[in-house]
C-alpha cells in the first residue's frame, strides 16, 4: 500500500455521476487545482451496508465542507450506471437519494490501484491462469488534497470499519489553519483552540497552557 502524503495526488479522467443523477465524462481532479481543497474518498461497493452510512454522513455535512471551500468526491469500482441507480433509490430501500456530490466510477480499478487502496491484486495460479487474490474492491481510503494537488492527509480503513466525517472536517480545519497562520496543530486540536509555533518555545508555551 502506497503512502501518498507529501506527493502529487494521482490524476485520472473517469466517468462520474454528480448532482444526484447527471452523468459526467472525463471527470478529473484537475478542475480543482488552484481553487479548492479536495476530500477524495473510496468506498467498496454500491448497494451495501456501511457504505451508504458514510456517503450520507458526508452529504449531511456538505455545507460544512462547502463553507471551507472543500470539494467532496466519492469513488468506487462500480459502473456509472450502478452509481446512478443507487443515487435514485430511496433511503428506506437502501439507496442514497439526495446525495449531490460527485461519485466517480473506477470500473477498471486503476484509480484505486494508483491510490494504493485496492484490497487485492491480480496474480497467476499454478496453471498460468490470471486470478485475483483478495477483494476486488477499494479499502475505505480517504485523501485530503490541497489546492496545489498535494496529498496532505491519508487514512485507510479495512472494509468493515466506517470513517468519521467529523474527523475529516477537523483535519481540513487543521490544514487550513496551518496554511493561513503558519502554526502547527497539536493532538486533538479543534478549530478555535490554541495552536503552536513550530519551535521549542512554542511547544513549551503550549504545554504551559495545559
Phi-psi region of 19 (alpha: psi -120 to 50; beta: other; left: phi over 0): left
Scan for cell 467529523, then name that residue. Answer: 166
Q: In this structure, what are the phi and psi dihedrals at residue 208, rounded to the nearest 5 degrees?
A: -70, -20
CA angle 165, 168, 172 (to 5 degrees): 145
CA angle 134, 5, 113 (to 5 degrees): 30
The answer for residues whose C-beta is within 8 angstroms of residue 137's C-beta and 6 or more apart is 44, 45, 76, 77, 112, 118, 119, 159
**Helix, strand, or coil (residue 50):** helix
Question: Which residues are designated catalytic?
Answer: 51
Amino acid at each position: 500500500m502506497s503512502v501518498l502524503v507529501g506527493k502529487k495526488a494521482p490524476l485520472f479522467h473517469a466517468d462520474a455521476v454528480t448532482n444526484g443523477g447527471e452523468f459526467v465524462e472525463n471527470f478529473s481532479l484537475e478542475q480543482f487545482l488552484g481553487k479548492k481543497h479536495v476530500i477524495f474518498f473510496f468506498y467498496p461497493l454500491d448497494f451495501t451496508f456501511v457504505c451508504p452510512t458514510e456517503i450520507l454522513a458526508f452529504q449531511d455535512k456538505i455545507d460544512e465542507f462547502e463553507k471551507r471551500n472543500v470539494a467532496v468526491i466519492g469513488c468506487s469500482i462500480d459502473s456509472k450506471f450502478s452509481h446512478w441507480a443507487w443515487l435514485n433509490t430511496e433511503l428506506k430501500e437502501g439507496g442514497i437519494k439526495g446525495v449531490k456530490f460527485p461519485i466517480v466510477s473506477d470500473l477498471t480499478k486503476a484509480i484505486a490501484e494508483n491510490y494504493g487502496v485496492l484490497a487485492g491484486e491480480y496474480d497467476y495460479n499454478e496453471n498460468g491462469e490470471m486470478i485475483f487474490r483478495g477483494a476486488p474492491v477499494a479499502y475505505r481510503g480517504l485523501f485530503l488534497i490541497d489546492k496545489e494537488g498535494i496529498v496532505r492527509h491519508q487514512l485507510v480503513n479495512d472494509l468493515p470499519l466506517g470513517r468519521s466525517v467529523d474527523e475529516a472536517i477537523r483535519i481540513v480545519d487543521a490544514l487550513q489553519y496551518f496554511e493561513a497562520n503558519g502554526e502547527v496543530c497539536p493532538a486533538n486540536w479543534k478549530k478555535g483552540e490554541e495552536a503552536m509555533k513550530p519551535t521549542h518555545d512554542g511547544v513549551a508555551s503550549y504545554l504551559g497552557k495545559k
